[in-house]
Structure 1
Amino acid sequence: MSDLILKPNIDDADEFYADLLAAHEGLDKADSDALNARLLLVLANHIGDRTILSQALAAATLKKE
């Protein structure tokens, strides 16, 4: 069983971030939110491991103090 990776793990993260911003360029809030939802579902499907997905959901919903 694997654990969720929370340390930086994206090759060329700055370029990915630029691509992500470019994908949202010109979209209104509703279309931007829909793009984020589709991307999340595509990546969740790619991961496929329900345990990892549960860990990711828990990590994303932690409240920062």
Structure 2
Amino acid sequence: MFTTDPQLKRPDDVYQALIDAQQDLSAEDAERFRARLILLLASQVGDDDAVLAAIEAATTSLKEHAHD
């Protein structure tokens, strides 16, 4: 079952690492970094259905908050 509940033990550390990794990158390189990270994490998950559910959840969330 797909969950959107937080699962990370150190979310603030992960968030900061994501920010730091992109800090000195151009917009284009930051986009490439995010794409590579997504593919690496999808491979780590190793479950096509879970990855597809995550894509759907992200798409739905973006649409719901498009005007925030």
Q: Give the TM-score normalised by structure 2.
A: 0.86
Structure with bigger RCO (C-alpha 8 Å, 6+ apart)? 1
- Runs of 4+ in structure 1 off by over 4 angstroms are none
Which residue does 2:20 correspond to in 1? 22
Gaps of 5+ in 2: none
Residue ranges of structure 1 left out of the alignment (5+ in a row) = none
Equivalent pairs counted in the alignment come to 63
Higher helix share: 2
RMSD: 1.0
Q: What is the CA deviation profile of residues 30-57 of structure 1, one whole-angstrom value per residue up to 9, with x for unaligned ones?
A: 0000000000000000111111111111
Identity of aligned residues (%): 32
